[in-house]
Chains A and B, each alone.
Chain A
Amino acid sequence: MRPEIILHSFGYLIQAAGVTVAVSLAGIAVGFILGASVCMARLSGNAMLARAGAVYVSIFRGVPLLVQLLFIYYFLGKFGLEVPALVAAVGGLGLSSGAYQSEILRGALNAVPRGQSEAATALGYRRADIWRRILLPQALRLSVPPFINEFILLLKASSLVSVVGIAELTRASMNIASSTYHPLEAYVGGGLLYLAINLCFAGLGTLAERRLGVGRPA
Chain B
Amino acid sequence: MITSKTFAVTRRSLLRSGLAAAAASGALMSGLRGALADDTLAEVKKRGELVIATEMQFPPFDISDNGTYKGVDRDLIDAVGKEMGVTVKYLDLPWTSILPGLEAKKFDLCIAPVTITKERMKRYLFTVPIADATAALMKRADDKSIMKPEDIAGKTVGGQKGTSQLAQLKEFATKLPKPVEIKEYVDNNQSYADLAAGRIDASVNSFPNLAYAAAQRSDTFAMVLPPFGAPTYFSWVGRLDDKSLVDAVNAAIVKTENDGTMAKIQKTWFGQTMDLPQTVPEPKI
B58 touches A164 (CB 8 A): no
B52 to chain A, nearest CB (A): 12
Q: Contacts A164-B97, A177-B189, A181-B213 given: A12-B67 contact, CB under 8 Å?
A: yes
- Contact A178:B29 (CB < 8 A) given known A70-B97, A73-B106: no
Q: Tell me the chain A residues, 61-115 only, with Cβ under 8 Å from chain B.
A: 66, 70, 73-75, 77-79
B163 to chain A, nearest CB (A): 15
Inter-chain contact count A-B, CB under 8 Å? Answer: 92
In contact, B66 and A9 (Cβ under 8 angstroms): yes
Judge if B64 is at the interface, Cβ distance under 8 Å: yes
Asked whether any CB of chain A lies closer than 8 Å to the CB of B178, the reply is no
Nearest residue in B to A16 (C-beta to C-beta)? B67
Question: Are B18 and A11 closer than 8 Å at their CB atoms?
Answer: no
User: Within the complex, which residue of B66, B97, B187 is in contact with A74, where a contact is CB–CB below 8 Å?
Assistant: B97
- Cβ contact of A12, chosen from B59, B66, B92, B189, cutoff 8 A: B66
Given A78-B22, A78-B104, are A175 and B64 neighbors across the interface (CB < 8 Å)? yes
Measured between C-beta atoms, what is the minimum distance from B245 to chain A in Å? 18
Cβ A74 vs Cβ B106 within 8 A: yes
Q: Is the CB of A163 within 8 A of B59?
A: no
Q: How far is the CA of A124 from the CA of B58 in the complex (A)?
A: 70
Max chain A C-beta neighbours (<10 A), residue from B59, B187, B189, B190:
B189
Cβ–Cβ contact B91 & A165, under 8 A: yes
Q: How far is the CA of A179 from the CA of B92 in the complex (A)?
A: 14
Which residues of B are found within 8 Å of A70, using beta-carbon distances?
A: 14, 18, 96-97, 100
Task: Provide the bound-state CA to CA distance between A162 and B190, in Å.
Answer: 19
Knowing A74-B101, A179-B63, A181-B217 are in contact, say whether A163-B94 is a contact too (CB < 8 A).
Answer: yes
B56 touches A165 (CB 8 A): no
Contact A175 B56, beta carbon cutoff 8 Å: yes
Q: In the complex, what distance in Å separates the CA atom of A172 from the CA atom of B63?
A: 11
Query: With A and B bound together, what is the CA distance between A74 and B105 in angstroms?
Result: 9
CA of A75 to CA of B104, assembled, Å = 7
What are the residues of chain B within 8 A of A167 when measuring CB–CB?
64, 67, 92
A11 to B66, CA, bound (A): 8
Measured CA separation A218–B113 after assembly (Å): 63
How many A residues have CB within 8 A of the partner chain? 30
Query: Which single member of B26, B96, B192 contacts A78 (CB below 8 Å)?
Result: B26
Query: How far is B21's CA from A175's CA once the two chains are assembled, in angstroms?
Result: 29
Nearest CB of B to A167, in Å: 6
Is residue A204 contacting chain B, with contact meaning CB distance below 8 A? no
- Is the CB of B272 closer than 8 A to any CB of chain A? no
User: How many whole Å from A19's CB to the nearest CB in chain B?
Assistant: 11
Q: Which residue of A lies closest to B25 (CB)?
A: A78
> At the interface, yes or no: B164 with Cβ under 8 Å from chain A?
no
- Chain B positions within 8 Å of A11 at CB level: 66
A67 to B: closest C-beta gap in Å: 8
Compute how far the CA of A12 lies from the CA of B66 in the bound complex, rounded to whole angstroms. 5
Please give me the residue from chain B that is nearest to A164 by CB atom. Answer: B97
Q: Which residues of B contact A55 (CB under 8 A)?
A: none
Most buried by B among A9, A73, A79, A178: A178
A205 contacts partner chain B, Cβ-Cβ < 8 Å: no
Q: Judge whether A163 and B63 touch: CB under 8 Å.
A: no
Interface pair B217/A74, CB less than 8 Å apart: no
Judge whether A77 and B66 touch: CB under 8 Å: no
Q: Does A15 contact B (CB under 8 A)?
A: yes
Q: Say yes or no for A145: interface residue by CB 8 A criterion.
A: no
The one of A79, A163, A183 in contact with B97, judged by C-beta atoms closer than 8 angstroms, is: A163
Decide if B29 touches A74 in the complex (CB within 8 Å). no
* 149-181 of chain B: CB within 8 A of chain A: none
Given contacts A77-B106, A162-B94, contact A181 B189 (CB under 8 A): yes
With known contacts A74-B18, A175-B56, A165–B189 Cβ distance under 8 A:
no
**Cβ of B104 and Cβ of A77 under 8 Å apart?**
yes
Please give, as numbers and ranges, the residues of chain B lying within 8 Å of A78 by CB-CB distance. Answer: 22, 25-26, 29, 104
Kindly supply a per-residue 1/0 record for chain B positions 52-63, scoring 1 wherever the CB is within 8 Å of any chain A CB and 0 otherwise.
Answer: 010011110001
Distance in angstroms from A92 CB to nearest chain B CB is 13
Check if B101 sits within 8 Å of A183, measured CB to CB. Answer: no
- 30 inter-chain pairs at a CB distance below 8 angstroms, sorted by A residue, are A11-B66, A15-B67, A16-B67, A66-B14, A70-B18, A73-B97, A74-B97, A74-B106, A75-B25, A78-B26, A78-B29, A78-B104, A163-B97, A164-B93, A164-B97, A165-B53, A165-B91, A165-B92, A165-B97, A174-B57, A175-B56, A175-B64, A176-B66, A177-B189, A178-B56, A178-B58, A179-B63, A181-B59, A181-B217, A183-B193
A-B contacts besides A15-B67, A165-B92, 6 pairs, CB < 8 Å: A11-B66, A12-B67, A74-B18, A177-B57, A181-B189, A181-B192
